[in-house]
Structure 1
Amino acid sequence: MTAFTPSRTLRLIAAVGSGYRRVFATSRVAPLLSRPNPVRHTGFDLDLAIERVVREADDVVSLTLADPSGADLPSWIPGAHLDLFLPSGRQRQYSLCGDPADRRTYRIAVRRIGEGSREIHELEQGKVRVRGPRNAFPLVDADSYLFVAGGIGITPILPMVRSCRRRGAPWRLVYLGRSRESMPFLDELGALGDVDIRPDDEFGLPDIITILPLAEPGAAVYLCGPPALGEGARGLLREINPAASLHTERFSPLPVTGGEPFDVRLARSGATVRVGADESALAAIRRELPGVAYSCQQGFCGTCKVRVLGGEVDHRDRTLTEGERDGSMLVCVSRSTSPSLVIDL
């Protein structure tokens, strides 16, 4: 009989564990069990084929991605997103806007507004590496829902509406945009129900004060779009519908609050950059290193994590563990409590 050595035991355990994770990731149970902790920080790394590119509106294209072998993709729940690793090395995050019941493909939609999005608009075929799905904007259980989407903010909302319709939950969607030509998925939404479409060139600039009262008592209210859309919404909803809950997702960095200026020295080059009281360390670093890695700019994806070699960090992220915070920081949101920091860049 062949001896069963410890090393072979470990290899067997690793193989079984890997197989289990693969089966679990593609099961229908995975999204249900992941609800209590919706943000998966590591995700699944996948090389997916670009199956289809569709122009959905002015400056908006959708990409449909699939496993090259035709295998089922890891399951997801409404509100999830993917991290895309682009050919240039940039990393960007985009909400999944397809149907969670479709296990064969993922769909994202991208408006052309920056370098990363322009690169995606130029993709026509080939493969892209993705990480995910991850979810920091999950659809909660509620008796009714009010969805408010501004422009490309419709992308995480669309699967939520589809889920509510599928399970018979009462919902209402107010969809805002510059013009109908700039608003993706109008036809698709029209097939799901009576959607309140309010383009600016027909209705004027949106006023959240007139929209929030549309929520039923105790409803879950989801806001996704430009920062101006959600300004003051939480306080107003608390006044007019105290039993309701507000859920928001932003496509831009949070404004810096309680900031003090400090210096950041880049250890590898010796350069020192000044971080203003009202700007992030990332913004200041990018003046010296435009190609520094970053993605969400809101402190949860971990892309901008750097080693800290000196100084005291004011940690403001939602991602790093206590152990990781001893010697690391996310420069998109965290700051310094000392006059200067030294980081490994």
Structure 2
Amino acid sequence: MAALISVVTDPIANAIGEPHIIHLREARIDEFLQAKSLSRNSQRAYRQDLKIFCAWYDARRSSNGHGAWESITARQVIQFKTDRSRCQAATHQRRLSDATIRRTLGTLRNFYNWMQRMGYVTHNPAAAIDLPKLAEPPIQHLSDQQVQHIFAAAIDTQLPERNLALLWVLNHNLRAGEVCALNYADYDGQRLTIRQAKANSTGIVPLNLEARAWLDTYLKWREAAGEHLQSSNPLFLSYSRQNCGDRLGYGGIRNLMDKLSATVGFKFHAHQFRHTYATNLMLKGMNPHHIMTLTRHKSPQNFRRYSKAAEQLAAERAFYNAIGETDTPSDIASWAG
């Protein structure tokens, strides 16, 4: 099926009487992604969302007429939402989940907002479309006991200096992509400066004594190995056969989490340290506004997930104390300290 195209009259082509046909879809997407301050993972996700919509739209080109971005209507976006929400006759399963539809429509809306600002289109067909409502995802925090097991497992890895420093940084609320983007200059011996972050949530993250000690140990270990650390050097390096000496990537962090998961006997991922950080500070009674500053949340509604999780844990702990049960469930007791 032909791709979305737009007919543009080129002055040179006109001189020889031939219209110049160019494919604008990928060019517009590329320009949109270049204009956004996004991590590689976010760029990949945005591109995939737009491709999901385009694949659906292309399949209906014959009935929907011209395929330029500016000719897509709100009715067609509604049709996409409705069609992708339906169950397939053969499997009785939905074509796309509400979360995927919501994300795709949100990306499409942002894309059209950008094209409007650039003057490429005059309307946003996704602007008035209601996004599917989602249940609030649960906070996936780790208990103190689980964190201890993970750190103990990291000591026995082939690269304990880097891996422990990495875990301590993750344990201070950083996203995996933010850790990958850190340079040597972003660490001043006391705190980290986040310059590249999701939704431009940049900021400063203070580190506790143990995190600073392990990060200093790792950097001294690199210097002892002959590396001359400069401002632009990656804070964390890869030591894999394929990428040894390069900046540690998201895949490298994921592989480490998978290996540690196999060692400790329970599955976890890097983002759970972010959940754990916020929940722990709530349980310690820190001012929620200060926690939001450190977690770099812009939306109180999104941050509310963490406070609810902490309130639930605190309520359960208070319940067992009130009824005099000393045999408190381990997942609650491990938060008591």
Taking structure 2 as the reference length, what is the TM-score of the superposition? 0.26
Bigger Rg over Cα: 2
Give the number of the structure with larger relative contact order, counting CA–CA contacts within 8 Å between residues 6 or more apart.
2
More strand by share: 1
TM-score normalised by L of structure 1: 0.25
